[in-house]
A = this chain, B = another copy of it.
C-alpha cells in the first residue's frame, strides 16, 4: 500500500503506514470538494436561517422569507439564486409569487441533524 504520490514520496513520515490509511480515508479530491461546497452553503447564518425555515415549514414565498429572517428582498433573492444554482432548492411559480422548497436530500439530512438538538 504505497498511496503516497511521487512528488512527496521522499518526505520523512512519522507513522508511515498511517499516512497511507489517511490518504485512503480522505478519498477522492472531487468527493471532498463536493462536500466542502455543500457545507459552504450552510456556513452563512442568513442562508442557514432560510434553509431551516424552508425545511421545517415547507414551501415559502420570497417576501415571507424576507420578513421571517429580517433580510431585505434582494438579499433573499440572491441567496436563493445561489442555492438554486447548487441544486439545493427549487422555486415553483404561481402567478407573481414564487414558493421555494428544499430538494437536495443530503442538505435536508444535514438540516435535520442541526435541528435535532435545538
A residues bordering B, Cβ < 8 Å?
Answer: 4-5, 8, 11-15, 18-19, 21-23, 25-29, 31-33, 35-37, 39-40, 42-45, 47-49, 52-53, 55-58, 60-61, 63-70, 97, 106, 109-110, 113-115, 117-118
Number of copies: 2
Q: A106 to B113, alpha carbons, bound, how many Å?
A: 9
Residues of B with C-beta under 8 A to A42? 35-36, 39
Smallest beta-carbon distance A6→chain B, Å: 12
The A interface, classified by DSSP as helix, strand, loop or mixed, is helix
**Which chain B residue lies CB-closest to A3?**
B68
CB-contact partner of A39 in B43, B56, B58, under 8 A: B43
CB-contact partner of A64 in B22, B39, B64, B68, under 8 A: B22
